[in-house]
C-alpha cells in the first residue's frame, strides 16, 4: 500500500469540496485508490500504480482550476478518459466552443473533442451514440458560434416527428407550436446559449429556422410551373438532373437534384408589378425588407407561409425579392433585320406588305438610323413625316427585285400585321442580351419616352395597341433585369386624338407600360430622349411581394441547382430560392429517418453550409419493418470525402453518473444477447 499527501491551493480545495462533495465522490468512484480531503490536504491511499494515476488526475485538475475552469463530476470523467487514451486533458477542456455570460461550452471527453474538430473541419458530421453524450448540445453551440462569427447566415434545426407520423395537422397551434415538443431539446440548448429575446428575434427574422423533417423537403412548385432554361421556359416537372436552367446572373446552371413531392397545397405569390408564380408554403424566397436595407443587413431567406399576413408595414410593401443581377443570356443567333431597325419598324412602320414598307417619324435622326441599319434599301421621303423603304437595286423599267424588308418580314411572320397585331418574333426574344436590348431601344425610340415628374426619378413609358406586342415588351424588359407595370386604356369614352387638323377617335384599346431598367442599360438611342433620361436618372427597379393566395392542391416537385446562390428563374422572371446556402443545419434524432428521408436531407446542402446529423441507433421508433436511414448511412457514405462519423459510447455520457451506468448496463445486456434475437435495425 502507498500513501501520498498533496497540499492543494485553496481554490482547488474549494472546488473539490463544492456541490456537496459531488466532485470528491466522482474522484472516489473513478479512481482505484482511496481519497480523503482535510482542509487543503488531499490524501491518496492504494496500490502504487493507482496512487500514481490518482496523483496525475489531481494535478491535471488543479491546473484546470488555475486556468479558470469550473470543476464538476464530468470533469473527472474527461480527465481520466483522456489520460487512458494518452491525450492531454488540458487540450480537450481548453477548447471552448462558446461563451455566454456564465456559460462555457467545451468538449469533456476525447470523442467530444473529435466531434467538435470534425464539425470545424468537415462539411457534414455524423454523431452517433447514446443519450447524454452531448451530440445535440455541442452541435447547437457550434451553430451559434458560427452564426456569431458570421461564418453562416442562418441556423436550421430539424427533427423527424415520428410520433406524429410527420402529420402535424392534428396538433394545436401554429407550426412552431406543433413542432415544439419534438425540438424542445434544441430549443433548451439555444435558450441556454443566447438571451431569450435574441432567440425570438432570430426566429422572427428567419435567422433561426425550425421545421420538422417533412417540411425540409417541401420547398416545391407545381409540375406545370415554368422555369427558365437557355432555350426558353420549360415546365419544372419535365426537368431532369443535368438539365440547364437560368440562374440569377442570367447564365445557365445545371440541375443537381429533382425530388417529386406528391400532392401539396400551393399558393400564388404575386408581386406589385403583376408577376406571379405558384409554390408551396415552405418554398424559399430571398427577401430584403426596407429596415434591412437601411441598416445595411444582408438579405434573409424566408418561406412563403412566413411572409403571408405580414406583407406590409404602415401600408408599405415589406418584402423585396431579387431581380436578375445581369441580363439573361440566350444563344446568339443571326437575324434577317438589324434588331434596332426592327424595333423602329414595329413602333412606327407599316408592315402590311400590301405596298412597299414605309416608316413614319417626325425625328429625322430615326429615319437616318433606319437607313443606316438596313442594308439593301434606300429611304425615300414622301412627306414631312413619311418615308418609303425602297429596294436600293430596283428602278423603274428594270427587272423586278424583291424588297429585302418585305422578304425579311415574311420570313419572320410579320408580313400583314397591323398596329393591333404586331409582335416581336421569337428569334429576337430568345437571342443575346445585346439583340434584345437593341429591339427594346427601337421600340422605345419610336413609341416610348421618358416621363419627368417633380421630385421623382425618370420612368420610361411605352404604349401599343397590340396585346401580343405588349407581352413581348414585358418579356424583353424582365429578361434584361428590369420591372414593368402594365395597364389598359379602354378606347370607349376616351377623348379623341388630333391629327391633320381634325379629331381622330380611338378605335382600339391601348396598353400603357411603365418601365424601369437596371443601371448600365440605356433605354434610348434617340438623342433628345436619351438626354432627358440621363439627366433625371432612371431609378432602381424594385420588385415587392404584393399578395399570397391559396390555390388548392396539385402535384409538386422541387429542384436543386448548382448556382452559388441557389437561385433560379421561374414564371415572369421571378428569381426564387430552393436550397440552404450559408447555413448551419442540424438534424437531430436521425435514427428515426428512413434512408430516403436522410438522402433528401443531405442533398439539400447548399454552398457555404455545414450539416450535423445526430442520433442513437439503439432508440429507433420506426415501425419494425422500416430500416433506419442513420443505420445505413455509414455503409453508403462512410468513405465519402467531406463526411466524418464520430461514434460515442457510455464513457462519453456527461449527464448524471446514473445515466452513464444505465447506458453501460443496456450495452452489456445487448452484447449478451444472441445475434439472432437482436433486431436488425438496432445494429450500429
Residue 275 is predicted with a pLDDT of 96
Alpha carbon separation from 443 to 262, 293, 430, 469 (Å, rounded): 45, 34, 17, 10
Contact 566, 581 (CB under 8 A): yes
CA pair distance 339, 438, nearest whole angstrom: 5
- Rounded to whole angstroms, the maximal C-alpha distance in the chain is 132
Q: What's the CATH fold of domain 220-323+544-577?
A: Endonuclease - Pi-scei; Chain A, domain 1 (2.170.16)
Contact 247, 563 (CB under 8 A): yes
CA pair distance 191, 200, nearest whole angstrom: 9
CATH of domain 339-536: 3.10.28.10
CA pair distance 141, 98, nearest whole angstrom: 6
> Does the domain made of 1-94 have the CATH classification 3.40.50.720?
no
**What strand order describes the sheet that includes 583-587?**
208-212, 154-159, 583-587, 610-615, 124-128, 643-647
Residues 6+ apart with CB under 8 A from 492: none
**Would you tell me how many other CB atoms lie within 10 Å of the CB of residue 409?**
24
Contact 77, 26 (CB under 8 A): yes
Contact 31, 4 (CB under 8 A): no
Residue 168 is predicted with a pLDDT of 40
List per-block mean pLDDT (blocks of 10 residues) for the chain, which spans 684 residues. 84 76 76 84 86 83 71 67 63 76 79 89 92 90 92 85 44 46 76 88 80 62 95 95 94 87 91 95 87 83 86 91 95 96 96 92 94 91 92 65 90 94 96 97 95 85 95 97 94 77 81 94 95 87 95 90 86 84 87 85 77 90 84 87 88 61 63 48 38
State the CATH class of domain 96-217+578-684: alpha beta
DSSP 375: T
CA pair distance 508, 645, nearest whole angstrom: 70
Give the H or E element holding residue 121. Answer: helix 110-121
Instruction: List the domain boundaries for the chain.
Output: 1-94, 96-217+578-684, 220-323+544-577, 339-536
Q: Which three cell numbers stand for residue 454?
A: 417633380
Angle at 519 between CA 517 and CA 523, to 5 degrees: 45
Residue 177 is predicted with a pLDDT of 47
Rg (CA), the chain: 35
Amino acid at each position: 500500500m502507498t500513501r501520498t499527501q498533496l497540499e492543494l491551493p485553496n481554490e482547488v480545495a474549494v472546488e473539490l469540496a463544492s456541490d456537496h462533495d459531488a466532485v470528491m465522490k466522482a474522484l472516489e468512484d473513478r479512481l482505484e485508490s482511496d481519497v480523503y480531503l482535510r482542509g487543503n490536504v488531499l490524501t491518496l491511499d492504494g496500490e502504487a500504480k493507482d496512487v500514481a494515476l490518482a496523483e496525475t488526475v489531481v494535478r491535471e485538475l488543479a491546473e484546470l482550476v488555475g486556468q479558470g475552469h469550473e470543476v464538476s463530476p464530468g470533469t473527472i470523467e474527461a480527465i481520466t478518459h483522456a489520460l487512458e487514451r494518452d491525450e492531454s486533458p488540458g487540450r480537450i477542456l481548453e477548447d471552448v466552443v462558446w461563451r455566454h455570460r456564465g456559460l462555457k461550452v467545451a468538449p469533456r471527453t476525447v470523442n467530444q473533442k473529435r466531434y467538435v474538430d470534425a464539425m470545424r473541419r468537415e462539411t457534414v458530421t455524423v454523431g452517433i451514440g447514446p443519450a447524454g453524450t452531448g451530440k445535440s448540445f455541442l452541435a447547437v453551440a457550434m451553430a451559434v458560434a458560427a452564426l456569431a462569427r458570421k461564418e453562416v447566415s442562418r441556423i436550421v434545426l430539424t427533427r423527424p416527428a415520428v410520433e406524429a407520423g410527420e402529420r402535424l395537422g392534428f396538433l394545436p397551434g401554429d407550426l412552431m407550436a406543433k413542432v415544439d415538443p419534438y425540438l424542445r431539446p434544441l430549443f433548451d440548448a439555444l435558450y441556454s446559449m443566447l438571451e431569450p429575446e435574441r432567440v425570438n428575434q432570430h426566429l422572427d427574422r428567419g435567422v433561426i429556422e425550425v421545421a420538422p423533417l417533412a417540411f425540409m423537403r417541401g420547398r416545391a412548385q407545381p409540375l406545370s410551373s415554368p422555369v427558365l432554361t437557355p432555350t426558353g421556359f420549360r415546365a419544372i416537372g419535365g426537368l431532369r438532373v443535368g438539365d440547364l436552367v437560368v440562374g440569377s446572373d442570367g447564365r445557365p446552371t445545371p440541375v443537381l437534384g429533382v425530388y417529386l413531392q406528391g400532392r401539396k397545397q400551393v399558393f400564388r405569390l404575386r408581386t406589385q408589378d403583376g408577376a406571379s408564380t405558384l409554390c408551396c408554403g415552405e418554398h424559399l424566397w430571398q427577401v430584403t425588407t426596407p429596415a434591412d436595407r437601411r441598416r445595411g443587413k444582408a438579405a434573409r431567406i424566408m418561406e412563403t407561409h412566413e411572409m403571408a399576413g405580414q406583407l406590409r408595414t404602415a401600408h408599405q410593401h415589406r418584402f423585396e425579392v431579387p431581380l436578375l443581377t445581369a441580363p439573361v443570356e440566350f444563344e446568339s443567333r443571326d437575324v434577317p433585320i438589324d434588331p434596332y431597325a426592327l424595333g423602329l419598324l414595329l413602333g412606327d412602320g407599316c408592315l402590311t406588305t400590301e405596298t412597299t414598307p414605309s416608316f413614319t417619324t417626325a425625328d429625322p435622326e430615326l429615319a437616318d438610323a433606319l437607313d443606316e441599319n438596313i442594308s439593301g434599301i434606300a429611304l425615300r421621303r414622301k412627306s414631312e413625316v413619311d418615308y418609303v423603304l425602297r429596294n436600293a437595286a430596283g428602278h423603274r423599267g428594270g427587272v423586278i427585285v424583291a424588297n429585302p424588308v418585305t422578304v425579311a418580314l415574311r420570313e419572320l411572320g410579320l408580313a400583314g400585321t397591323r398596329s393591333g397585331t404586331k409582335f416581336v418574333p421569337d428569334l429576337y426574344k430568345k437571342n443575346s442580351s445585346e439583340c434584345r436590348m437593341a429591339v427594346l431601344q427601337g421600340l422605345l425610340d419610336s413609341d416610348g419616352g421618358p416621363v419627368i415628374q417633380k421630385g421623382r426619378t425618370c420612368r420610361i413609358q411605352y404604349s401599343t395597341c397590340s396585346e401580343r406586342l405588349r407581352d413581348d415588351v414585358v418579356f424583353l424588359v424582365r429578361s434584361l433585369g428590369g420591372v414593368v407595370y402594365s395597364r389598359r386604356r379602354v378606347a370607349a369614352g376616351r377623348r379623341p386624338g388630333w391629327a391633320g387638323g381634325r379629331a381622330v377617335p380611338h378605335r382600339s384599346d391601348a396598353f400603357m407600360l411603365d418601365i424601369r431598367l437596371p443601371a448600365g442599360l440605356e433605354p434610348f438611342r434617340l438623342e433628345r430622349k436619351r438626354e432627358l433620361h440621363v439627366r433625371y436618372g432612371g431609378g432602381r427597379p424594385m420588385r415587392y411581394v404584393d399578395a399570397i393566395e391559396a390555390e388548392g392542391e396539385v402535384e409538386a416537385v422541387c429542384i436543386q441547382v448548382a448556382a452559388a446562390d441557389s437561385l433560379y428563374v421561374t414564371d415572369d422572371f421571378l428569381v426564387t430560392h430552393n436550397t440552404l446556402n450559408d447555413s448551419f443545419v442540424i438534424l437531430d434524432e436521425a435514427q428515426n429517418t428512413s434512408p430516403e428521408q436522410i438522402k433528401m436531407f443531405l442533398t439539400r446542402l447548399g454552398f457555404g453550409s455545414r450539416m450535423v446529423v445526430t442520433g442513437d441507433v439503439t432508440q429507433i421508433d420506426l415501425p419494425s419493418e422500416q430500416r433506419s436511414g442513420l443505420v445505413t448511412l455509414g455503409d453508403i457514405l462512410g468513405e465519402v470525402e467531406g463526411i466524418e462519423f464520430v461514434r460515442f459510447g457510455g464513457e462519453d455520457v456527461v449527464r448524471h453518473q446514473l445515466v452513464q451506468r444505465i447506458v453501460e448496463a443496456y450495452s452489456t445486456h445487448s452484447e449478451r444477447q444472441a445475434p439472432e434475437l437482436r433486431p436488425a435495425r438496432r445494429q450500429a
